[in-house]
Amino acid sequence: MQCDGSDVLTVEGLANKGVLHAVQEAFYEEHGLQCGFCTPGMLVRSYRLLQENPNPTEDEIRIGISGNLCRCTGYQNIIKAVQSAARKLQESSTTAA
Amino acid sequence: MNAPTDSVEARELALAGMGQSRLRKEDARFIQGKGNYVDDMKLPGMLHMDIVRAPVAHARIIKINKEAALAMPGVHAVLTADDLKPLKLHWMPTLAGDVAAVLADEKVHFQMQEVAIVIADDRYIAADAVEAVEVEYEELPVVMDPFEALKPDAPVLREDLAGKDTGAHGKREHHNHIFTWEAGDKSAADAAFDAAPVKVSQHMYYPRVHPCPLETCGCVANFDPIRGELTTHITSQAPHVVRTVVSMLSGIPESKVRIVSPDIGGGFGNKVGIYPGYVCAIVASIVLGRPVKWVEDRIENISSTAFARDYHMDGELAASEDGKILGLRVNVVADHGAFDACADPTKFPAGLFHICSGSYDVPAAHASVKGVYTNKAPGGVAYRCSFRVTEAVYLIERMVDVLAQKLGMDKAEIRSKNFIKKEQFPYTSAFGFEYDSGDYQTALDKVLTAVDYKGLRAEQAAKRADPDSPTLMGIGLVTFTEVVGAGPSKMCDILGVGMFDSCEIRIHPTGSAIARMGTITQGQGHQTTYAQIIATELGIPSEVIQVEEGDTSTAPYGLGTYGSRSTPVAGAAIALAARKIHAKAKKIAAHLLEVNENDLDWEVDRFKVKGDDAKFKTMTQIAWAAYNQPPEGLEPGLEAVHYYDPPNFTFPFGIYLGVVDIDRATGETKVRRFYALDDCGTRINPMIIDGQIHGGLTEGFAVAMGQQMPFDAQGNLMGNTLMDYFLPTAVETPKWETDFTVTPSPHHPIGAKGVAESPHVGSIPTFTSAVVDAFSHLGVTHLDMPHSSYRLWKALRDNGVAL
B575 and B683 inside one domain: no
Nearest-CA distance from A43 to chain B in Å?
Answer: 8
Q: Do B214 and A69 touch (CB under 8 A)?
A: yes
Looking at the domain assignment, is residue B784 inside a domain? yes
Binning pLDDT at 50, 70 and 90, where does residue A96 land?
low
Looking at the domain assignment, is residue B313 inside a domain? no
B509 and B479 inside one domain: no
Give the model confidence (pLDDT) of B435-482 as tens digits: 999 999 999 999 999 999 999 999 999 999 999 999 999 999 999 999
Tell me, yes or no, if A39 comes closer than 8 A to chain B by beta carbon: yes
Nearest-CA distance from B529 to chain A in Å?
Answer: 13
Interface probe, candidates B32, B215, B699, chain A, greatest A C-beta count within 10 A: B32
- What pLDDT score does B4 carry? 55
B669 and B784 inside one domain: yes
B134 and B257 inside one domain: yes
Q: Do A12 and B32 touch (CB under 8 A)?
A: yes
Mean pLDDT for chain B overall: 97
Under DSSP, the state recorded for B196 is -
Whether residue B5 has pLDDT greater than 70? no
B592 and B573 inside one domain: yes
Q: Do B32 and A73 touch (CB under 8 A)?
A: no
B793 and B772 inside one domain: yes
Chain B residues touching A83 at Cβ < 8 A: none
Cα separation values, B132 from B15, B64, B137, B175, B293, Å: 60, 11, 15, 36, 20
- E strand intervals along B496-565: 497-498, 501-507, 513-517, 545-549
Amino acid of residue B310:
D
Looking at the domain assignment, is residue B52 inside a domain? yes
ω before B44 within 30° of 0 (cis)? no
* Domains, chain A, ordered by start: 18-96 (1.10.150.120)
The CATH number of whichever domain residue B592 belongs to comes to: 3.30.365.10
B239 and B275 inside one domain: yes
Closest CB to A33 among B31, B215, B687: B31
Domain limit, last residue, from B644, B671, B705: B644
Which residue is closest to B29 within chain A, CA to CA? Answer: A36
Nearest-CA distance from A34 to chain B in Å?
Answer: 4
Tell me, yes or no, if B215 comes closer than 8 A to chain A by beta carbon: yes
- What pLDDT score does B622 carry? 98
Looking at the domain assignment, is residue B545 inside a domain? yes
Whether residue B67 has pLDDT greater than 60? yes
Whether residue A97 has pLDDT greater than 70? no
Q: Do A72 and B729 touch (CB under 8 A)?
A: no
Which sequence positions of B are flagged as catalytic?
A: 237, 384-385, 757
Average pLDDT over residues B109-116: 98
Chain B residues touching A82 at Cβ < 8 A: none
Average pLDDT over residues B630-645: 96
* β-strand pairing of B545-549 with B513-517: parallel
Give the model confidence (pLDDT) of B714-751 as tens digits: 999 998 999 999 999 999 999 999 999 999 999 999 99
Tell me, yes or no, if A41 comes closer than 8 A to chain B by beta carbon: no
Nearest-CA distance from A13 to chain B in Å?
Answer: 8
Average pLDDT over residues B383-408: 97
Tell me, yes or no, if B29 comes closer than 8 A to chain A by beta carbon: yes
Q: Do B735 and A72 touch (CB under 8 A)?
A: no
Q: Do B731 and A63 touch (CB under 8 A)?
A: yes
> Please, is A21 exposed, middle or buried when counting C-beta atoms within 10 Å of its C-beta (0-12, 13-18, 19+)?
buried
Close Cβ partners of B173 (under 8 Å, ≥ 6 residues apart) = B180
Q: Do A72 and B695 touch (CB under 8 A)?
A: yes
CB pairs under 8 A between A and B: 126
B754 and B687 inside one domain: yes
Nearest-CA distance from A50 to chain B in Å?
Answer: 16
Q: Do B31 and A12 touch (CB under 8 A)?
A: no
Amino acid of residue A2:
Q
Q: Do A34 and B37 touch (CB under 8 A)?
A: no
Torsion of CA B581, B578, B272, B357, to 10 degrees: 140
B534 and B638 inside one domain: yes
B62 and B126 inside one domain: yes
Binning pLDDT at 50, 70 and 90, where does residue B89 land?
very high
Residue B549's domain comprises 8-35+501-644
Contact indicator for B781, B799 with CB cutoff of 8 Å: no
Tell me, yes or no, if A47 comes closer than 8 A to chain B by beta carbon: no
Share of residues in chain B with pLDDT > 70 (%)? 99
The CATH number of whichever domain residue B94 belongs to comes to: 3.90.1170.50
Sign of CA dihedral B382, B384, B389, B393: negative
Whether residue B43 has pLDDT greater than 80? yes
Looking at the domain assignment, is residue B148 inside a domain? no
- Which ipTM value was assigned to this complex? 0.97
Whether residue A80 has pLDDT greater than 90? yes
B456 and B527 inside one domain: no
Domain limit, last residue, from B644, B678, B712: B644
Average pLDDT over residues B105-127: 98
B245 and B105 inside one domain: yes
Nearest-CA distance from A40 to chain B in Å?
Answer: 6
Element (H, E) at B32: none
Close Cβ partners of B474 (under 8 Å, ≥ 6 residues apart) = B460, B659, B660, B661, B662, B769, B770, B771, B772, B773, B774, B775, B776
Looking at the domain assignment, is residue B332 inside a domain? no
Q: How many domains does chain B have?
A: 3
Looking at the domain assignment, is residue B195 inside a domain? no
Looking at the domain assignment, is residue B528 inside a domain? yes
Interface probe, candidates A11, A59, A72, chain B, greatest B C-beta count within 10 A: A72
Tell me, yes or no, if A90 comes closer than 8 A to chain B by beta carbon: no
Q: Do B691 and A39 touch (CB under 8 A)?
A: no
Domain limit, last residue, from B617, B644, B671: B644
